[in-house]
Copies of this chain bind each other. A is one copy, B any other.
Amino acid sequence: MTLESDLERYCVETAIASREASRKLAQTSTALKNRWLQECAKQLPQKLDEILAANALDLEAAPGFGLSESATDRLRLDRPRVQAMADAVRDIAALPDPIGETIEGSVRPNGLEIRKVRVPLGSVFFIYESRPNVTVDAAAICVKSGNAVILRGGKEAWHSSDALVRVLSSAAQEVGLPTGAVQLVSTTDRAAVGHFLALSDYIDVAIPRGGKGLIERVVREAAMPVLKHYDGNCHVYIDSHADQEMALRIVVNSKCQRMGVCNACESLLVHRQIANEFLPRVGTALIEKGIELRGDSDTCNLLPLAVAATEQDFYTEFLGPQISIKVVSSITEAIEHVNRYGSHHTDAIVTQDLRYAQAFTLGVDSSAVMVNASTRFNDGGEFGFGAEIGISTDKFHARGPCGLKELTTYKYLVYGNGQIRN
């Protein structure tokens, strides 16, 4: 390999260190991984002053990066927020270790014992937005699942992340975890990302979390597989057999409980049979919450408060106070609409008829299909995963919320007593 620059050399050395640490981590006991997590949780509040001093540098630079007030607030650390990080790390320590699980096994007619055993993926390259708590969370999730991680945080939080990773590294030295298990990319040079994405010999998976532009760049450039999180254009379909009180509650919660997130509802489908009764009710409730209604022509006829939707509206993840609405004539039309315009993230049906519930869950090709529940429940915490590194919109490897188990793969262990093949 010819290294064209100091930057490239740095990236290769970092990736090799990650690969070496990953080999050791794959053989590290649950007890030692948990000791590290507990030590991190202990040291984080102890080193509060250093963490806050670093954070102050980021806060000082925030206006220069053009950060909004709310973005600056998300960047800000204080004693309760650092304590919350430590608590989250303790929660991850308490989760079961996925590594070593026998997923399945059998004895073959020739006596070979075959076990499919869960093992770590190896080395993870994690590229993420600027909130500092993500640094600690991602490191804890990766190491608990036996993976080494290279963290590439946003430049806006670089000093904070650096201080946090120093704590994690000091804890690693304290308990004897391999150095190289958690590394923060020490430069904010964008070219570094490209170098890392080429190093598929040393890095097993890239996980981008952030805007669509970043994700598209990573997908385009990565030589290794990418676990990605595109958009969530989520639907709620109100069937003719819905309990309308329940439907109202679910639509309003799915749309309004938190608008800027991927599992929020962006589009409402209503069966023609109940549209004239239900649409005015739901329309009023949504408008009371400040939501703009963009309806197809049937909707606009029944709901004078709605504006006409464009076709593009039905493809759009608004992440804000807008919703697209369409009247459909059958569950088949609803399913086809969801599969065509949706993003295969989270879609819900409200119905009391089991046949329609079954048809919808079978026909809709999404990571989570909800029956009589808010779309907002598609979440690692709500699913009981304990921790999540993102929600995959891929079908490959992992789909939906990604917790510890989704950062693993498997290998086959085959025990014999001299078998050879005929």
Residues of chain A touching chain B, judged by Cβ–Cβ distance below 8 Å, are: 23, 26-27, 106, 108, 112, 114, 119, 121-122, 204-205, 219, 223, 225, 243, 246, 249-250, 253-254, 257, 339, 357, 361-363, 365-374, 376-378, 382-384, 394-397, 399-400, 409-422
Nearest Cβ on chain B to A27's Cβ, whole angstroms: 5
Q: A108-B384, A225-B394, A257-B420 are in contact. Are A415 and B249 (CB under 8 A)?
A: no
Q: Report whether B362 and A26 are in contact in the complex, using a CB–CB cutoff of 8 Å.
A: yes
**A27-B363, A420-B374 known; A414-B368 Cβ under 8 A:** yes
Give the distance in Å from the alpha carbon of A127 to the alpha carbon of B371 in the complex: 39
Given contacts A368-B411, A395-B121, A397-B396, contact A250 B23 (CB under 8 A): no
The answer to whether A395 touches B372 (Cβ under 8 A) is no
The answer to whether B205 touches A396 (Cβ under 8 A) is yes
Complex interface: chain B residues within 8 A of A108 (CB):
382-384
> Which of B223, B243, B339, B362 is close to A418, meaning CB atoms less than 8 Å apart?
B243
A412 touches B23 (CB 8 A): no
In whole angstroms, how far apart are the Cα atoms of A121 and B395 in the complex?
7
Q: List 8 A-B contacts (CB under 8 A).
A: A26-B363, A27-B363, A108-B382, A219-B223, A371-B416, A372-B415, A377-B414, A396-B396
Q: Are B122 and A365 touching (Cβ within 8 A)?
A: yes
Given A26-B362, A409-B396: A374 in contact with B121 (beta carbons within 8 A):
no
Copies of this chain: 2
A27 to B363, CA, bound (A): 7
Q: Are A421 and B367 in contact (CB under 8 A)?
A: no
Residue picked from A106, A243, A368, most chain B C-beta under 10 Å:
A368
Please name the 4 residue pairs, one residue from A and one from B, whose CB atoms are nearest each other, closest first. Answer: A373-B416, A253-B420, A225-B396, A376-B421
In the bound complex, residues from chain B placing their C-beta under 8 Å from that of A357 are 415
Contact of A412 among B368, B376, B419 (CB under 8 A): B368
Beta-carbon contact of A204 and B395 below 8 Å: yes
Instruction: Write the nearest CB–CB distance from A371 to chain B, whole angstroms.
Output: 5
Contacts of A26 in B (CB 8 A): 362-363, 365
